[in-house]
Structure formats: structure tokens, C-alpha cells
Amino acid sequence: MSSSASADPSASLAPAEREIILPEARMHIYRPTEPVTARVTRSEICTSRKAAGFTRHLEFDVSGTNLVGQVLPGQSIGVLAPGIDTKGRPHAVRLYSVASPTGGEDGSGTIISTTVKRTIDEHWESHKLFLGVCSNYLCDLNVGDEVKLSGPNGKKFLLPADAASHDYLFFATGTGIAPFRGMVLDLLRKRVNCRVTLVMGSPYSTDLMYDELFRSLAKEHANFRYLTAISRERQSNGSGPMYVQDRITAPDTREELAALLAGPRTLIYVCGIAGMELGIFQKMASVLPAGVLEQYLKADPAAMADIPSWSRKMLHREIKPTKRVFLEVYA
């Protein structure tokens, strides 16, 4: 790990400008061309059995490999499905976010996990069944089966080295929950003195992943808040359908989220479906006082004058997240 935030030369800067020091994550220990063999030790549905899709929590034993103890939540691992693609080449590597905490599922870093949603659709042209190669390969695997892994990948979507110096607001949709499972477990197990709020969004409540785990963690840990946002049915308290960003303005959560965001040490992490960050940023820009907003977002005055017209093309140009915002979104 690198030095803590107190040794950071930018410590005298305003919080939004301060460098957030991340741990030094190892990357590409195994390249996709030279993957390592791991073994499946667990495969279980991690939504309600009634969910329309199929999402599994998968654990891999990496003992005897150089991945032991080197895989952090927020990184991803590569999976090489056997077989060849339509062009006769071996299937390209697919990335899957790590769901295990630092030290893995077992504490010694030999069991790592991920969360895989089967890609199932009708083929766009032929309307025949379309099955994604790697997600279905992974979800078909049984305990004891071998799997070829590469990685780890990524070094930017990590908890800070000095995790106890911050509070956290995590937004997840779909399998974007994977890194937050690991990060929440890390933060709560270390019993660090910080506030952790997780907002998990899904179309139906049956699609929520690791719901029981998060509910029991929220009961056990006063510093952990678990909020859900269900977009195609009413919330458990009877209020209307909402997306993750609507939690920022929902009558029952807006005060606590505004207070969390106003804190000088809060960091925002967003993971899931590409584009979800736009709605979160629009909601923040619409309701947060300028002094709080600029801690997380710098937007051109022209953009601020017309928040509803923001588009993904404007992200990182007219609308720039600050160092207090971490994004990992994928299609």
C-alpha cells in the first residue's frame, strides 16, 4: 500500500481537488494469452428465485497461483471461455468484476468471487435464441470445474488506501453490485469509523442481488445504510417506482443523502449499466447547493442552464466529475 492521505502533498487543497491515494493494485499478473487455471468452489443464484434473469455468485479457488492475495474489490478478472468464435478464433477474454473483499472469501486470498448475469436474448436479425458466450459458460459451470482466468485488471475503481478517512455513497445497478459487495465487507469488517451508504437499483425487487446479505449487514452495523430503488414497481413503503438517482430526492432519503454529500470526506462510487451516471449527475445538479455540487461535479455554465438536456456525450467535457467521484460502467 502507498502512503496514507496525511502524507499527501495536496492535503491543503479543497476536498474536490485533493488526490485520493489508492492502494497499489497489481495488474495483469496473468495475460489472456497465458491464463491460469482456477477451480469453481461455489455457484449459487444471488437474486430471488423469482427473478426474470439469472444471476449467479461464483467463487474460484486460485490457490497455487500468483493471484492469491492480489485481487481487490473494484478490480476485474478475465475469463477465457473455451471454443472459438464465428471467425474461428479463440473467444476473446470477458471481464467480470470482483465481488470478494480484500483477502478473498476465505480471508487468505485464495477464494475470489464474481457476480455473473447470463446474457440471454432473441437474436436481433434471426429472432433465434441468443446466448452470450462467456456468461452462460460461467453460469453452467459446476463446483469442481476448471476455469481459465487472467488479470487482475483495473487500478482506479478502488477504495482509498486510507479508507477510514472517508465516508461512502455507492450507487449500483445490476451486476454493478459486485465491487460494492467486496468494498462493503472490507469497510465493515475493518470496523473503520466511516459511514457507508449503498443504493442498489433493479427493475423488480426480485432482481436485487445479495439482498439478504446487505439487509443483515445493515442490521448489524449502525454505520451501514442499505437503500434500494425499484424502477418497475412500487417501493416497499408504497411510494412510486424509482431509479437509483431518485433516492437523492425521495422524501424518505433526501435529507440523509444531502447530509452525507455535504460532508467534506464523502466519496461517490457508481457501478453498473453505462449511462446510469448521467441520471445521478443530473439529479445532483438539480438539487444540491452549488457549494456541495462543485465538490463532485464541475459543469459549464451553459450546461448548468439546461440540466434536463444533458447527454452522455457531454460527460468529461462540459460535465466533469471531480476526484471524489469514481465510475465503473459497462454495456
Ligand X SMILES: Cc1cc2nc3c(=O)[nH]c(=O)nc-3n(C[C@H](O)[C@H](O)[C@H](O)COP(=O)(O)OP(=O)(O)OC[C@H]3O[C@@H](n4cnc5c(N)ncnc54)[C@H](O)[C@@H]3O)c2cc1C
User: Is residue 295 within the footprint of ligand X (CB under 6 A)?
Assistant: no
Classify 47 in phi/psi space as left (phi over 0), alpha (psi -120 to 50) or beta.
beta
Nearest approach, Cβ of 26 to ligand X (angstroms)?
17
Distance separating alpha carbons of residues 131 and 139, to the nearest angstrom: 12
Nearer to ligand X, 158 or 257 (CB): 158
Stretch that binds ligand X, among 34-42, 108-116, 296-304, 311-319 (CB under 6 A): 108-116
Nearest approach, Cβ of 291 to ligand X (angstroms)?
33
Stretch that binds ligand X, among 29-37, 95-103, 222-230, 309-317 (CB under 6 A): 95-103
Rounded to 10 degrees, the C-alpha dihedral 56/61/65/70 comes to: 60
User: Is residue 191 within the footprint of ligand X (CB under 6 A)?
Assistant: no
Nearest approach, Cβ of 262 to ligand X (angstroms)?
31
Nearer to ligand X, 18 or 94 (CB): 94
User: Is residue 266 within the footprint of ligand X (CB under 6 A)?
Assistant: no
329 burial (CB, 10 Å; 0-12 / 13-18 / 19+) is: middle
Nearest approach, Cβ of 197 to ligand X (angstroms)?
21
CA distances from 234 to 31, 200, 240, 329 (A): 45, 15, 5, 26
CA angle 80, 98, 151 (to 5 degrees): 45
User: Is residue 132 within the footprint of ligand X (CB under 6 A)?
Assistant: yes
Nearer to ligand X, 114 or 295 (CB): 114
Distance separating alpha carbons of residues 203 and 113, to the nearest angstrom: 24
Per DSSP, the three-state class of 197 is: strand
Q: Cell numbers 495536496 label which residue? A: 10
Nearest to 279 by CA among 249, 302, 239: 249
User: Is residue 330 within the footprint of ligand X (CB under 6 A)?
Assistant: yes
CA 58 to chain centre: 16
User: Is residue 329 within the footprint of ligand X (CB under 6 A)?
Assistant: no
**Inter-residue contact 210 to 46 (CB < 8 Å):** yes
Nearer to ligand X, 125 or 306 (CB): 125
User: Is residue 147 within the footprint of ligand X (CB under 6 A)?
Assistant: no
Distance separating alpha carbons of residues 168 and 301, to the nearest angstrom: 28
With CB under 6 A, what is the number of residues at the site for ligand X?
23
Site string for ligand X, 216-255 (x = CB under 6 A): ----------------------------------------
Alpha-carbon Rg for the chain, nearest whole angstrom, is 20
User: Is residue 156 within the footprint of ligand X (CB under 6 A)?
Assistant: no
CA distances from 208 to 178, 202, 204, 215, 303 (A): 12, 6, 7, 11, 34
Nearest approach, Cβ of 36 to ligand X (angstroms)?
18
Q: Which of residues 168-187 bind ligand X (CB under 6 A)?
A: 175, 178
Nearer to ligand X, 15 or 132 (CB): 132
Q: Which of residues 110-129 bind ligand X (CB under 6 A)?
A: 114-117, 119, 121-124
Binding site for ligand X (CB under 6 A): 76, 94-97, 114-117, 119, 121-124, 130, 132-136, 175, 178, 330
